[in-house]
Chains A and B, each alone.
Chain A
């Protein structure tokens, strides 16, 4: 009961907040832009399937959610607890007959509802505009793939939201929490490839296979990397994953069935869920043990 009360308030606070509205507008505008961009490619005659439209190009749906999605997650989580501590409303919350885990559950649930709203709207916008532009609709199989992709995207954005909730609990100050969350996002989104390559190439006396393992294990720490990998495989039946387990590439020989694609994406999905659980678990432990004075 308490969880739903807190979740509803959190959700209404989120959707009414200026920062969320700005990011939501940004995602929506980029979705429409993406729709126009991919539609133009279709007119060039390069279209292979509807899924192709969503997985390739610099402004594809996957890239859009891969980059802007974490920003929405961070914007929902970075001051989730620290704002209540800074303003003093946490004491009023705690003076009610609610447990601390209920507060955190309510906040996460409120954030989840907001993510569903933002993501659902932007994906619907994008697909809707593509359909209007090129006049074809995704088939049943593609719709199923899109639904699974939608769920994976929610988990991915939740991952960043949980991470920023954790920084909000640890640092207790919204400004520091935002800074740390943004640094982690920049690292995982733009720097991890560089760091992984550097690590792999500078290791002395390691053979090629060993270097690829180092590269793989370093990349595996990034939720963004797993999201890109699994999204391509889930949305586009032409994508397969290479022998090292996590690098997706285009297969020109055959199209995979949904089950085959899901099988290939499972390790990435599993790691994404594990990362999410780790962030949430540490947040619970830290928040429940926090001395409130």
Chain B
């Protein structure tokens, strides 16, 4: 696969009250064509700043970057012809219809008059808004506006789209619909998706590779399976009785990383399979084993337990 987004030591430093704040710190990232890439991190971790630098809307303080082989500092206008962007906070012209909004932005994207109507119809059908083509945007729900924003980037037939917290503020139904749409566009059009979010469950449901950003630094990047395998073993261990002595004994077993207690159940994260030691331990403490099984850890568990991820 060919790289469509590439950065080398990309850094952005803001001056806040005379103090330097590194919003993005030495970012080395590669996203490949056709990928659904999740850019995950807490609020304020530098996700939006990264996207704005990649689109050439803000200049990096240091480092370099390319989108579809276009230099982000020298060829930003070219990047914006082949890249779509849905910001976290945006608004269409509310009094204008969906058609007039798309026509305005379509023309700004260089689409010719002869092509524009067909593209608008095609994009609105794709996002299932064709029945609303002449309705003013102010009558649209948040979910519809989000789909309209997607149509707005699709009319320029982009190679890559940047989505910044795309489902924030949507109800569960609209969120699910939007997710399905993104996946479908990736499958049918081969569109590369760079999705920035602080919601792990959302990224997990859409993306096949994830980069985890913390305080401006990319601290981990892997596929979902890769992340889960890093977590090692998750063992659910339920006994008839549990006390502090048993918990201490479990923690002292070689390979055990973390132990969490819920009533008489322990959830153990370990670097190896320690079920044999656990059954011996239950015997030593005269406790009956109710459950002793291996489980696949969730992505959430990986982040919270390994990287300490969460919102700031």
Chain A partners chain B: yes
Q: B-contacting residues of A (Cβ < 8 Å)?
A: 1-2, 5-6, 9, 13, 87-89, 91-99, 291-293
B43 CB to closest chain A CB, in angstroms? 13
Q: Is the CB of B58 within 8 A of A89?
A: no
> In residues 107-126 of chain B, which contact A (Cβ within 8 Å)?
107-110
Q: Which residues of A contact B89 (CB under 8 A)?
A: 88, 91
B256 CB to closest chain A CB, in angstroms? 44
Binary per-residue interface labels of chain B (42-66) against chain A in the complex, 1 for a CB within 8 Å, 0 otherwise: 0000001100100101100000000
Q: Does B87 contact A (CB under 8 A)?
A: yes
**Stretch of B77-85, B202-210, B280-288 on the interface side:** B77-85
Q: Is the CB of B108 within 8 A of A5?
A: yes
**Whole-angstrom CA separation of A9 from B152 in the bound complex:** 17
* Cross-chain pair count, CB within 8 angstroms: 61
- Please give me the residue from chain B that is nearest to A100 by CB atom: B57
A89 with B90: in contact, given A97-B110, A98-B108 (CB under 8 Å)? yes
Q: Does B307 contact A (CB under 8 A)?
A: no
A87 with B109: in contact, given A95-B80, A293-B48 (CB under 8 Å)? no
Q: Is the CB of B81 within 8 A of A95?
A: no
Q: Is the CB of B91 within 8 A of A89?
A: yes
Q: Is the CB of B52 within 8 A of A293?
A: yes
Q: Which 3 A-B residue pairings sit nearest by Cβ, starting from the closest?
A: A88-B91, A95-B85, A96-B108
Q: Is the CB of B152 within 8 A of A94?
A: no
Q: Which residues of A contact B108 (CB under 8 A)?
A: 2, 5-6, 93, 96-98
A18 CB to closest chain B CB, in angstroms? 12
Task: Find B58's partner among A5, A87, A88, A292 (CB 8 Å cutoff).
Answer: A292
Using A89-B91, A96-B80 as known contacts, list a sample of 20 further A-B pairs with CB atoms less than 8 Å apart, ordered by residue number in A: A5-B104, A5-B107, A6-B108, A87-B94, A88-B87, A88-B89, A88-B91, A89-B93, A92-B91, A93-B108, A95-B55, A95-B80, A95-B85, A96-B105, A97-B81, A97-B109, A97-B110, A99-B77, A292-B58, A293-B52
A94 with B109: in contact, given A88-B87, A88-B90 (CB under 8 Å)? no
Q: Is the CB of B91 within 8 A of A292?
A: no
Would you give 9 A-B contacts (Cβ < 8 Å), ordered by A?
A13-B93, A87-B91, A88-B90, A89-B93, A94-B57, A97-B81, A98-B77, A99-B77, A293-B58
